[in-house]
Structure 1
Amino acid sequence: MSQKSQVMVVDDDLAMCGFLRTFLGARNYNALTVTNADEAVRRFHAERPAAVLLDVVMPGSMDGLAALAAFKKIDKDVPIIVISGQGRTSVVVQAMRLGATDFLCKPFEENELEMVIEKALKQHQLSQEVASLRAQLKEQSRYTMLFGHSRQMQEVRDLIERVSDTDVTVLIRGESGVGKELVARALHDQSLRKDKPFVKVNCAALPTELLESELFGFEKGAFTGAIQHKPGKFEFANHGTMFLDEIGDMSFPLQAKLLQALQDGEFSRLGGKSDVRVDVRVITATNCDLEAAVASGRFREDLYFRLNVVTITIPPLRDRREEIPMLTEHFVKKYSVQYNKPFPGISHELSALFLEYEWPGNVRQLENLIKRMVVLGSEAPIVQELKNPSCTSAPRATAPPLQPVMPPPAAAAVAIAPASLAATAPAMVGAGAMMAGAPAAIGIGSVAAVAAPAGASAAVNVSLKDIARTAAREAERELILRMLTRTRWNRKEAAEILGISYKALLYKIKENGLDKAS
């Protein structure tokens, strides 16, 4: 063995401890001997040995079997060989149930002990290698939908590799369902903070008051019901990464507090008198036009420049159709295993439909369709759905083009051309900014456009953007109501179909006054 493995010996017999220390040392093991179970648990927690030789009968408040259970709570994979003069079947069975790797009765042969130790360590090493490979495969699977082979996604990957090991703020842009959170996680996982927390907060899921307390925490008595102080997400993310999704939906007053936290690395909790210092890398994401929000006064310009140090824009799925077959195969395999429902693969007809479809809900919509197909065990409903003209003509939103890595530092740094209203308004009217692609994914057709208020075209103070926002809200309300009706007001099922969190749906129901309709 090239490196000594540490083996802990737990036995109250000093002579046995001395024998095993000599025995292990002669075979290139580093022996750690302990004579009582309580001390053994403390040393095990600190030393983390590669294996344990454990006697059953021990003095003190804890016997060998209790120590075995404690070891397994600390490290469930460590090999533990029980050695005892008590060879009763009940003791052996109990030890094996608690997770013992093997059991030897005293007295034992030296070659027998040597074989048992070698076997246990080899099995442990093999299981660790398998676990590592599984973790790598899982990680690869996790990013399959992100790192495709198209030129556009290669550019995204290059940007991630170039900025992941820095602490600069990153703004991720792209339509709903393209995988913005995956990019954020990839940035974290490839950074020096990868072993620290990754904390996600959806700024659109909570009203301003709740979002502030969620981000920054509150002190006892800060408001009615604050019976004790609560740290915020920024504190939980200390030394790690904070991912603020849908940053464009954050209220204007709260933007000022976020700006202070970014600039100074400190903030005060709600009701607090002192500042809290944190070391957090902030990554944000949005599918809205931040430049237009800045121009209209809905988003702080100074915060925009603070967040937009590096921009990564993820192209929609319709602009990288060559990746659809690969993604389809990946999701079929994934959900066949997850639901234990073998699926033979999709037909040429469905493959062609997938390549022709516009995918307003992007990769998330494709994944949900395939998940449903695997669970149902048939592609017929999906084929019928995609052949439906109202489905295949679903509205499409336009994402801003991929931008240079580093925008210029001055006011001219707004290098990202805002998407034209003519391109974005139809998508907002057709499906709402929150749920792009949801109607197609569930087979109800596209949501009808909402007409502008009467006389709006002649009103001087009514802008097209106001009309588009009103239309989007109405379309969103109609879509949520349809889903709730379809699921008989099963909110969890409706949230899953719409591709949003249960908490976000509850907020949207209340915001749109649908709680009264139930």
Structure 2
Amino acid sequence: MLERPNQVLVIDDDEAAREILVELLGRVGYHAFAAADGRSGLDHLNSAAVPPEAVLLDLRMPGIDGFEVLRRYRAQGGIAPVIALSAMDDKESVVKAMRLGASDYLVKPIEPEELRPPPSAPLSRRGPPSEFVSVSSAMLGIWDMVDRVAETDVPVLIRGESGVGKEGIARALHERSVRRGKPFVKINCAALPSELLESELFGHERGAFTGATSEKPGKFELADKGTIFLDEIGEMHPALQAKLLQVLQDEEYYRVGGKRPLRADARVVVATNRVLEDEIARGNFREDLYYRLNVVSVIVPPLRERKEDVPHLIEHFRRKYGSKYKQGTAPFSDEVMRKLLQYDYPGNVRELEN
């Protein structure tokens, strides 16, 4: 989990937990010191001649809690990795801490192995998959966020123009989560009219409507214990949005024409190329559903805003298709590369690849 910093500050109001952590850190080779509450933790951070290179921060403390410590530390320009300490069932707090600038999290009680380098905690830093060549700080930040939130199991909203790679990010969230190995099920909400989309999402019973000659499981059923990816969520009809909201709240649903509730056990990841706040203002998207889905927001920048990725993507695709079609492809000339870098790619990575 930790990458061998010289000093680690432990901020935890629980004396027993604090002492155990300091002892564990010492056992695996760190110099650890402790603060008994948020205020003294901030005092340590603000007054230390040599600031700690990592902070283990309990989120639930009286007075100045871990969230406020984290907020103030980041506002003051603190850059040390902050690892949030949370209870097993406190995923919402983990997400909140990540939004405030936490680098990672550990679940109490903590085992010594989780503190040893190389990383062995639930979320190791893996960076972009091979098909997502990224050197830009924006994309590397996104992959860092993917690593941090993959195992929290909360809904994720991926925003970005068409062609930026939203589906690939959704797949990476799935593959890096505890649900990996279970189904990843995708449905495009813009591809079907509302009536058919409802049946595709939730399934239908035999005789539910004209043409329903047999029962059919829906995407939620097929994604059981895995991940369901709802692409182009901004295109979903408001009436169906209400049903999706109920599924997220109740964690159960009915097939079209069904009378027996089915349990919804799938992580929900959604994507859109629309500005949902504008759609809410126009009455096209439910505000309550937006807040339910927007627990974690991943904003993928267009390729024109990260041109430093273009040469690396070009080389990746050159090798990929050279291998696929069993023929070598010569590197591009400087003139061709210059023109490729000058282009704005309205279709983003998809356009560059094609």
Q: TM-score range by the shorter chain?
A: 0.5 to 0.7
SS of alignment partner, residue 151 of structure 2: coil
- Cα deviation digits, residues 123-158 of structure 1 (max 9, x gap): xxxxxxxxxxxxxxxxx9x93453511110111011
SS of alignment partner, residue 227 of structure 1: coil
Matched, 1:291 2:265: no
SS of alignment partner, residue 366 of structure 1: helix
In structure 1, C-alpha distance between the alignment counterparts of 2:335 and 2:199, rounded to whole Å:
51
In structure 2, C-alpha distance between the alignment counterparts of 1:143 and 1:330, rounded to whole Å:
12
2:344 maps to a residue whose letter is E
Alpha-carbon shift at residue 349 of structure 1 (Å): 1.3
In structure 1, C-alpha distance between the alignment counterparts of 2:205 and 2:294, rounded to whole Å:
32
In structure 2, C-alpha distance between the alignment counterparts of 1:210 and 1:350, rounded to whole Å:
46
- Cα deviation digits, residues 379-401 of structure 1 (max 9, x gap): xxxxxxxxxxxxxxxxxxxxxxx
SS of alignment partner, residue 164 of structure 1: helix
Q: 1:206 aligns with which of 192, 202, 212?
A: 192
Q: 2:132 aligns with which of 146, 150, 165?
A: 146
- Cα deviation digits, residues 49-87 of structure 1 (max 9, x gap): xxxxxxxxxxxxxxxxxxxxxxxxxxxxxxxxxxxxxxx
Q: Where do 5+ consecutive residues of structure 2 fail to align?
A: 1-125
- Cα deviation digits, residues 421-478 of structure 1 (max 9, x gap): xxxxxxxxxxxxxxxxxxxxxxxxxxxxxxxxxxxxxxxxxxxxxxxxxxxxxxxxxx
Alpha-carbon shift at residue 302 of structure 1 (Å): 0.5
Alignment of 1:141-220 (within 5 A): 143-220=129-206
Whether the 8 Å CA contact 1:144–1:327 is kept in 2: the answer is: no
Give the structure with the larger helix fraction. 1
Aligned residue number for residue 353 of structure 1: 339
Alpha-carbon shift at residue 262 of structure 1 (Å): 0.8
Whether the 8 Å CA contact 1:164–1:191 is kept in 2: the answer is: yes
In structure 1, C-alpha distance between the alignment counterparts of 2:153 and 2:338, rounded to whole Å:
43
Alignment of 1:313-324 (within 5 A): 313-324=299-310
Aligned residue number for residue 286 of structure 2: 300
Moved over 4 A (4+): none
In structure 2, C-alpha distance between the alignment counterparts of 1:172 and 1:147, rounded to whole Å:
18
In structure 1, C-alpha distance between the alignment counterparts of 2:264 and 2:275, rounded to whole Å:
30
In structure 2, C-alpha distance between the alignment counterparts of 1:147 and 1:222, rounded to whole Å:
47
In structure 2, C-alpha distance between the alignment counterparts of 1:145 and 1:286, rounded to whole Å:
21
Aligned residue number for residue 267 of structure 1: 253
Alpha-carbon shift at residue 254 of structure 1 (Å): 0.4
In structure 1, C-alpha distance between the alignment counterparts of 2:216 and 2:193, rounded to whole Å:
18
Number of positions where the alignment pairs a residue of Structure 1 with one of Structure 2: 229
Alpha-carbon shift at residue 341 of structure 1 (Å): 2.6
SS of alignment partner, residue 200 of structure 1: strand
Whether the 8 Å CA contact 1:145–1:179 is kept in 2: the answer is: no
Aligned residue number for residue 458 of structure 1: none
In structure 2, C-alpha distance between the alignment counterparts of 1:347 and 1:336, rounded to whole Å:
17
Whether the 8 Å CA contact 1:146–1:153 is kept in 2: the answer is: no
Q: 1:331 aligns with which of 295, 309, 317?
A: 317
Alignment of 1:234-249 (within 5 A): 234-249=220-235
Say which one has the larger Rg.
1
SS of alignment partner, residue 270 of structure 2: strand
Whether the 8 Å CA contact 1:238–1:278 is kept in 2: the answer is: yes
TM-score w.r.t. length of structure 2: 0.63
Relative to structure 1, is the Cα distance of residues 147 and 341 closer, same or farther in structure 2, using a 3 angstrom cutoff?
Answer: closer
Aligned residue number for residue 210 of structure 2: 224
In structure 2, C-alpha distance between the alignment counterparts of 1:254 and 1:347, rounded to whole Å:
51
Whether the 8 Å CA contact 1:143–1:182 is kept in 2: the answer is: no
In structure 2, C-alpha distance between the alignment counterparts of 1:308 and 1:149, rounded to whole Å:
27
Aligned residue number for residue 344 of structure 1: 330
Alpha-carbon shift at residue 278 of structure 1 (Å): 2.1
Whether the 8 Å CA contact 1:165–1:192 is kept in 2: the answer is: yes
2:272 maps to a residue whose letter is T
Matched, 1:310 2:296: yes
SS of alignment partner, residue 332 of structure 2: coil
Alignment of 1:14-93 (within 5 A): none
Alignment of 1:122-141 (within 5 A): none
In structure 1, C-alpha distance between the alignment counterparts of 2:130 and 2:308, rounded to whole Å:
14
In structure 1, C-alpha distance between the alignment counterparts of 2:193 and 2:149, rounded to whole Å:
32
